[in-house]
Amino acid sequence: MSQKEKPNHESFKVSGDEILTKVKEIIKEGNARRIIIKNDKDETIIEFPLTIGAIGVVLAPIFAAVGTLAALATNCTIVVEKRNDEEVK
């Protein structure tokens, strides 16, 4: 990625019980490069990169961590850094 290109970001406000469902939905879409989960004070709680072709075995520890986080969190923001169209091809 050149210095002039900026990653495409999208964010979602979710409650603790919606975090895991939303993360799974984002991963299923297949165009996320990185997912960052922040608390209501805008502090990063967890951040993880995603690779093209990640499979369930690789994602299982991520789902476990997000599930634990969901049990502890009330409101969070999920920030998704998306791939550019050229990277997906």
> Per residue in 43-84, pLDDT tens?
998 898 887 656 666 777 888 888 887 777 778 999 999 887
Tokens standing for residue 32: 């996320």
pTM for this one? 0.75
Q: How far apart are CA 9 and CA 63, in angstroms?
A: 21
Q: How far apart are CA 35 and CA 46, in angstroms?
A: 8
